[in-house]
């Protein structure tokens, strides 16, 4: 590529400070250093975590450095590779990942977890391995959200945080496998290990929750109870496999966990929390049955605590959390792309809106108002 080795000037949505709209500006994206890859971002989903990072920074989320380019659910094409990169070449179709898979750390070698430790502190702090970001605006460093930053036409990621995918895959669809769909689906099939014939409840019916419903259906659950305070989400939930839909607000002050325990004659086998609220997390745990009920937390909050009645745990329940659905990112994402290509996995149905980067703030509003499931941002048609 003609741009290899040079700084690329392109457009990005910058968050200059918490709780302010993103600003569309020209940025400079430096060439990749050793073990880094520069990619042309083609499409990026807008995830609740992006919104949360901006608006809950220093509250429910840790305060990380600003200015930052958000976006972490993307797909693109390799533009150039830095020294010592062996697994990627210009033109490869790829999905950048906020969770790496280095294959070398003790956690990568362990089947019990997907939490690769490579560059962990750095990417959490918005920088790459050398402690700096590759994006700058008017000479000022702009941090890379979770080491990705896909609300930018180009970005640079470590070669251990990138999955090479089927060259035939439509990037404007498979971008959703970079976060939301993989997380919810994996919460059910991988972390929760939902069993055939079981009874499940999914709390929160955004992309993560609908993907969890899809996972419960793939696992052949007998009952899938979809719970949301926004009834507009119910039709989609039924399309994804929910057998019942419940709005907690239809029951006055009665706690949702009591309603679920009554409806299921003792509680659900699996409860999947896809909201991100400590109150719903406790409700999800308490809606599971004695003996073997399992609650999986996919919703994200970093500074808050959830309350757990000890007796609920004493009675045999299991409480689990999932980061990126338990998938070993670089290894498993290409297979999820294949599953989509072979129509074993839905993606198109999650996409409610398509917008250009210039309308990124509208995408956040649609998410907050409960009007969208996923908005896919096009980085090409600016
Ligand atoms: P979303 O905003 O699209 O969906 C959230 C849904 O929860 C909405 O439909 C909303 O109406 C519903 N809701 C709100 N309060 C509720 C309540 N009290 N009871 C029931 N439903 C309620 O969000 P999303 O993009 O699907 O993400 C969901 C959560 O998953 C967020 O917390 C996000 O940060 C988190 N997340 C976690 C990971 C991970 O790796 N664990 C990855 C991606 C997203
Ligand atoms: Zn996300």
Judged by its nearest atom, the ligand closest to the C-alpha of residue 99 is 1
The answer, yes or no, to whether any atom of ligand 1 lies below 6 A from the CB of 275, is: yes
The DSSP line for 247-316 is: -GGGGTTS-HHHHHHHHTTS-BSEEEE-S--HHHHHHHHHTBPTTT-EEEE-S--SS------HHHHHTT
Task: Provide the residues around ligand 2 (an ion) whose CB is within 5 A.
Answer: 47, 49, 179
pLDDT at 288: 98
Q: How far is CA 159 from CA 35, 39, 115, 118, 146, in A?
A: 5, 11, 16, 11, 14
Mean predicted confidence (pLDDT) in 198-219? 98
Can you give 152-170 as a three-state secondary structure string?
Answer: ECEEEEECCCEEECCCCCC
pLDDT tens digit sequence for 54-63: 999 999 999 9
Compute the mean pLDDT over every residue in the chain, rounded to the nearest whole number.
97
Sign of CA dihedral 183, 189, 192, 196: positive
Distance 45 CA to ligand 2 centre (A): 8
Q: How far is CA 78 from CA 93, 151, 167, in A?
A: 7, 16, 12
The answer, yes or no, to whether any atom of ligand 1 lies below 6 A from the CB of 201, is: no
Mean predicted confidence (pLDDT) in 252-259? 97
Residue 382 reports pLDDT greater than 90 = no
Judged by its nearest atom, the ligand closest to the C-alpha of residue 74 is 2
The answer, yes or no, to whether any atom of ligand 1 lies below 6 A from the CB of 241, is: no
pLDDT tens digit sequence for 110-164: 999 999 999 999 999 999 999 999 999 999 999 999 999 999 999 999 999 999 9
pLDDT band at 379 (very low <50, low <70, confident <90, very high): very high
Which 8-state DSSP code applies to residue 187?
I
pLDDT band at 13 (very low <50, low <70, confident <90, very high): very high
The answer, yes or no, to whether any atom of ligand 1 lies below 6 A from the CB of 229, is: yes
- Return the biggest CA–CA distance within the chain: 65
Q: Which residues contact 105 (CB under 8 A, 6 or more apart)?
A: 116, 117, 118
Q: Are strands 93-96 and 351-356 parallel, antiparallel or unpaired?
A: unpaired
Cα 124 to Cα 244: distance, rounded to the nearest angstrom: 38
The answer, yes or no, to whether any atom of ligand 1 lies below 6 A from the CB of 184, is: no
The answer, yes or no, to whether any atom of ligand 1 lies below 6 A from the CB of 306, is: no
Residue nearest to atom 7 of ligand 1 (CA): 204
Q: pLDDT > 70: what percent of the chain?
A: 99
Which of the listed residues 206, 286, 352, 366 should we mutate to test ligand 1's pocket, taking the one with most ligand atoms within 8 A of CB? 206
CA dihedral 64, 69, 59, 18 (to 10 degrees): 110
pLDDT at 279: 98
Cα 59 to Cα 71: distance, rounded to the nearest angstrom: 20
Residue 1 reports pLDDT greater than 80 = no
Distance 265 CA to ligand 2 centre (A): 35
Distance 203 CA to ligand 1 centre (A): 8
pLDDT band at 377 (very low <50, low <70, confident <90, very high): very high
pLDDT tens digit sequence for 291-310: 999 999 999 999 999 999 99
Cα 185 to Cα 346: distance, rounded to the nearest angstrom: 10
The answer, yes or no, to whether any atom of ligand 1 lies below 6 A from the CB of 208, is: yes
Q: Which residues contact 88 (CB under 8 A, 6 or more apart)?
A: 37, 78, 81, 94, 159, 162, 164
Residue 381 reports pLDDT greater than 80 = no
Cα 320 to Cα 22: distance, rounded to the nearest angstrom: 34
Q: What is the C-alpha radius of gyration for the chain, rounded to an integer number of angstroms?
A: 20
The answer, yes or no, to whether any atom of ligand 1 lies below 6 A from the CB of 245, is: no
The answer, yes or no, to whether any atom of ligand 1 lies below 6 A from the CB of 179, is: yes
Distance 49 CA to ligand 1 centre (A): 9
pTM above 0.85, yes or no: yes
pLDDT tens digit sequence for 61-110: 999 999 999 999 999 999 999 999 999 999 999 999 999 999 999 999 99
Cα 329 to Cα 118: distance, rounded to the nearest angstrom: 13
Sign of CA dihedral 88, 156, 6, 33: negative
Cα 165 to Cα 25: distance, rounded to the nearest angstrom: 30
Cα 343 to Cα 359: distance, rounded to the nearest angstrom: 31
Judged by its nearest atom, the ligand closest to the C-alpha of residue 207 is 1
Distance 207 CA to ligand 2 centre (A): 10
Q: In what order do the strands lie in the sheet with 318-321?
A: 244-246, 223-227, 199-203, 270-273, 294-297, 318-321
> Are the CB atoms for 159 and 35 separated by under 8 Å?
yes
Judged by its nearest atom, the ligand closest to the C-alpha of residue 324 is 1
């Amino acid at each position: 590529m003609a741009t290899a080795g040079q700084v690329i000037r392109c457009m990005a949505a910058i968050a200059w400070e918490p709780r302010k709209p993103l600003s569309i500006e020209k940025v400079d994206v430096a060439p990749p250093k050793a073990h880094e890859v520069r990619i042309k971002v083609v499409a990026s989903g807008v995830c609740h975590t992006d919104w949360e990072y901006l608006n809950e920074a220093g509250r429910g989320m840790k305060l990380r450095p600003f200015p930052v380019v958000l976006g972490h659910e993307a797909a693109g094409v390799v533009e150039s590779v830095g020294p010592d990169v062996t697994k990627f070449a210009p033109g490869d179709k790829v999905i950048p990942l906020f969770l790496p898979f280095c294959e070398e750390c003790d956690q990568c070698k362990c089947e019990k977890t997907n939490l690769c430790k490579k560059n962990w502190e750095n990417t959490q702090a918005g920088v790459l391995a050398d402690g700096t970001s590759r994006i700058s605006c008017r000479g000022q460093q702009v941090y890379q959200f979770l080491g990705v930053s896909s609300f930018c036409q180009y970005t640079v990621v470590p070669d251990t945080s990138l999955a090479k995918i089927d060259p035939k895959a439509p990037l404007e669809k498979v971008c959703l496998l970079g976060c939301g769909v993989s997380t919810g689906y994996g919460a059910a099939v991988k972390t929760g290990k939902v069993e055939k014939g079981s009874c499940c409840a999914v709390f929160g019916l955004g992309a993560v929750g609908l993907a969890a419903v899809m996972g419960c259906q793939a696992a052949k659950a007998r009952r899938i109870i979809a719970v949301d305070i926004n009834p507009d989400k119910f039709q989609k939930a039924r399309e994804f496999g929910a057998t019942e839909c419940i709005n907690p607000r239809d029951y006055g002050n009665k706690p949702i966990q009591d309603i679920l325990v009554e409806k299921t004659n003792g509680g659900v086998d699996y409860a999947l929390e896809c909201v991100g609220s400590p109150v719903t997390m406790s409700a999800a745990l308490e809606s599971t049955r004695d003996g073997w009920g399992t609650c999986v937390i996919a919703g994200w909050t970093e500074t808050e605590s959830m309350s757990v009645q000890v007796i609920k745990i004493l009675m045999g329940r299991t409480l689990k959390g999932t980061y990126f659905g338990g998938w070993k990112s670089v290894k498993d994402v290409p297979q999820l792309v294949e599953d989509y290509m072979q129509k074993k996995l839905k993606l198109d149905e999650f996409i409610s809106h398509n917008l250009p980067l210039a309308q990124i703030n509208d995408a956040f509003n649609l998410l907050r108002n409960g009007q969208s499931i996923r908005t896919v941002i096009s980085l090409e048609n600016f």
